A and B are shown apart, each in its own frame.
Chain A
Amino acid sequence: MPTVKLLPLSEAVARFVPDGGSVAMGTALESLIPFAAGREIIRQRIRSLTLIGPISDILFDQIVGGGCVRKVRAAWAGNVITGSGYNFRRAVESRSIEVEDHSNLTIAMALRAGAMGVSFMPTRTALGSGLYDTNSSLKAITCPFSGDAVTAVAAITPDVAIVHVQRSDKYGNAHSWGNLGVTREACLASKHIILTAEEIVSPDVISSDPNRVVTPGFRVSAVAHAPWGAHPSPVPGYYNRDHQAFTDYQNESRTPEAFAAWRAHWVDSNSDYLSLLGEERVASLKLKMHALAETVDYGY
C-alpha cells in the first residue's frame, strides 16, 4: 500500500522546510500561488531560505518581509498589478538578501535540467544581457553541433517544491489544471514536494484521469488540505483572483511598519483566514459560471 501523506500544513512546513533550505514556490506564475504555505513559513519564523521561482506575484515579497530569506533565485519579484514589491526592494537595496537574476525561460530551463537529471540546459535567451553579471548559473557556451552561441543554465534542484493544486488524494496523486508554468519541472527537480490542495478526494477520482496528474504521487512528501490556500491568486475551477487584495497590499507593504501590521493581521493573528476575509468577500470571488470539460475514455 502507498504511504498516506496527509499532514496539517503547519506540520508539513515544519518537517520539510528547514532553516537554510531552498524552496521552489509560485511555479504556476500568476495562479495557484501557495500563499497559505507562505504565511505558515512566516509564522514559523523559518530563516535563511533560498526562494526559487519565476514570478511569484507578492508571495516572495511577503516571505522576504517575514525575515525568512537569505537569497532569491527568480525572474521577477513584485506586485503584478501595482509594480514594486517593497519588502523585496528594501531587502535588496540594503544588501540584506542576495539575488540571482533569472528570466522566466532561464528559471524554467534550470528546473528542467534538475528534473531531467542533467547539469545544465541550453537556451538562446539572455545572450549579451546583464543577467550574466548577476547570475553565476548562466554561462555562454558554443554549441558543439552548430557552433552557435548558447546560454547554458545550471540545474537547480530545490530541497522542496511547494505546489498548490485543485485536488489531491491522500497519497499525493493530484490533479492540477489551467496554466502550469514551471510546476512540472519544479516538482521533478525537487527532493521533496509539499502539495497544498483545495480538496482531498478519493484516489479513484485522481486515477480516473492520469493525464491531469501534476506529478507522480510517489515523489510527494506531504499533502496538506488547504481550502482557499492560494487566495488572493486565482485557482481554476475554484475561485477568481482577488484584485483588491493585491492593490491593498501595495500600501500594506510600503513601509516596514505597515507590513508589520499586515503580518499581525493576516499571519500571526489566531483568527481563521476565511473569517478574516469575511463571507461577502469569499462569495464575491467564487466562480460565476462553470465550464465543465467533456469526459475522456481511458477504457481498454
Chain B
Amino acid sequence: MAIDNTYGQVSALPQRPYTRSELMVAAAAREISDGDVVFVGMRLPLLGFQLAKRTHAPNAVGVYELGIVRDSAAPEPILTMGDLPNLYRAQWLADTAEVMGLLQQGIVDVSFIGGAQVDRFGNLNTTYIGGPDNIEMRLPGSGGACDLASLAKRHIIIMAHEKRRFVPKVDYITSPGYGDGAGWRERVGLPRGGPSTVITTLGLMRFDPDSKEMILVSIHPGVTVDMVLDSTGWPLRTSPNVTQTPAPAAAELAMLRRFDPEGYWTGD
C-alpha cells in the first residue's frame, strides 16, 4: 500500500459505507469513559483513543508504552505511536519503566490489545502458534501486551474472528486472561484486572462474572449468531439478549476518516 507522508486535506469526504474496521474502532472508543486513564496499544486502538478523545471522552488521558502520556489527541494522523505528531505537546515524555509504573500501580482504567489466538477464558497468544516446543508459526511476541493484560484494571481485546484464532485453549499464554477460569488470576498472583470485552470482526464478547467464560453479547450488522458460532472453535455461550452492535455515527465516521485518511488501518 502506498502511503504519502504528507497528509492531505480531508474536508471533502466521500459518502461511503463504513468498513468493518471502522465499526470495530467505534466500538473500542465506546469502551473508553470520560476521564479514563487509557493505555493505548498499537494499530486500531491508536484510532480508538483518538476517536474517544474527540467525541465523548475529552478528558481521557492516553498512556503509550514508549514513554508518552497525552491529554490531547495527536494533531495529525498517526500510523504508529512513535510518529512525531504523537509527541507534539504531549503531557509527558519519559521512559517505558515510568509509564509501566502507572500501570503497575493500578491507575490505568483500561487498555487495548490485539490478538492472534484467543481462548474461552480470554488468554491471548501472540508468540508461538503450536507452542514453544512444537512451533508452527512464530509471531512477534508480547511487546507490552503481557503487561497491559497483567496490570490494567481491565483490558479489551481486538482481533479477527476466525475459527483458527478462537481456540478452546491457546498454545501459549502471552497475555493472561482468566487462565483456566474463576480464581486463576488470584491464584497466580496477578494483582487485578482481566479482559472485559473482546471486539472482533463479527461481534462483541464479554465475560461471565462467575465462570469468567467468554459470552457473545452483540453481533455486528449483517452478522448472524450462527456465523459467530461457526467461527469459534468451542461451543461459545451466547447471552440471552444478543444485541446488534451500533453502526458508527456519521460524526464518528467523519472523525475517523480524518485520523486515517488513507484507510491504512480502517480500509476494507
Q: Which residues of A are in contact with B by a Cβ distance under 8 Å?
A: 28-31, 54-55, 74-78, 80-81, 83-85, 88-89, 92-93, 99, 101-106, 108-109, 112, 123-131, 133-134, 140, 148-150, 177-185, 233-234, 236, 240-244, 247, 284-285, 287-288, 291
Q: Are B190 and A101 in contact (CB under 8 A)?
A: no
B12 within 8 Å of A (CB atoms): no
Q: Are A247 and B95 in contact (CB under 8 A)?
A: no
14 contacts between A and B (CB under 8 A): A75-B141, A75-B142, A78-B139, A89-B138, A93-B135, A101-B142, A123-B104, A126-B146, A128-B189, A129-B176, A130-B173, A134-B172, A179-B66, A180-B67
Most chain B C-beta atoms within 10 Å of own C-beta, residue among A75, A105, A148, A247: A105
Q: Are B87 and A244 in contact (CB under 8 A)?
A: no
Q: Are B141 and A105 in contact (CB under 8 A)?
A: no
Q: Tell me how far the C-beta of A259 lies from the nearest C-beta in chain B, rounded to whole angstroms.
A: 16
Given known pairs A129-B173, A182-B97, A244-B5, the reply for A76 and B141 (CB within 8 Å) is yes
In residues 125-145 of chain B, which contact A (Cβ within 8 Å)?
125, 127-128, 132, 135-145
Q: Are A76 and B66 in contact (CB under 8 A)?
A: no
Given known pairs A29-B82, A30-B81, A234-B84, the reply for A242 and B5 (CB within 8 Å) is yes
Which residues of chain A have C-beta atoms less than 8 A from B3's C-beta?
Answer: 243-244, 247
Of the residues A29, A106, A181, A284, contact of B5 by C-beta under 8 Å? A284
B64 within 8 Å of A (CB atoms): yes
Q: Which residues of B are in contact with A by a Cβ distance under 8 Å?
A: 1-3, 5-6, 42, 64-68, 79-84, 87-89, 93-97, 100, 103-104, 125, 127-128, 132, 135-147, 150-151, 172-176, 179, 184-185, 187-191, 264
Which residues of chain B have C-beta atoms less than 8 A from A31's C-beta?
Answer: 66, 82
Which residues of chain A have C-beta atoms less than 8 A from B189's C-beta?
Answer: 124, 127-128, 140, 148-150
Minimum-distance CB pairs A-B, first 3? A149-B189, A30-B82, A128-B188
Q: Are A129 and B94 in contact (CB under 8 A)?
A: no
Which residues of chain B have C-beta atoms less than 8 A from A247's C-beta?
Answer: 1, 3
Given known pairs A89-B137, A150-B189, the reply for A105 and B147 (CB within 8 Å) is yes
Given known pairs A103-B147, A241-B80, the reply for A76 and B140 (CB within 8 Å) is yes
Additional A-B contact list (13), CB under 8 Å, known A28-B66, A102-B142, A105-B96: A29-B67, A31-B82, A74-B141, A103-B144, A104-B142, A123-B104, A124-B190, A130-B173, A150-B189, A179-B93, A185-B95, A234-B84, A287-B84
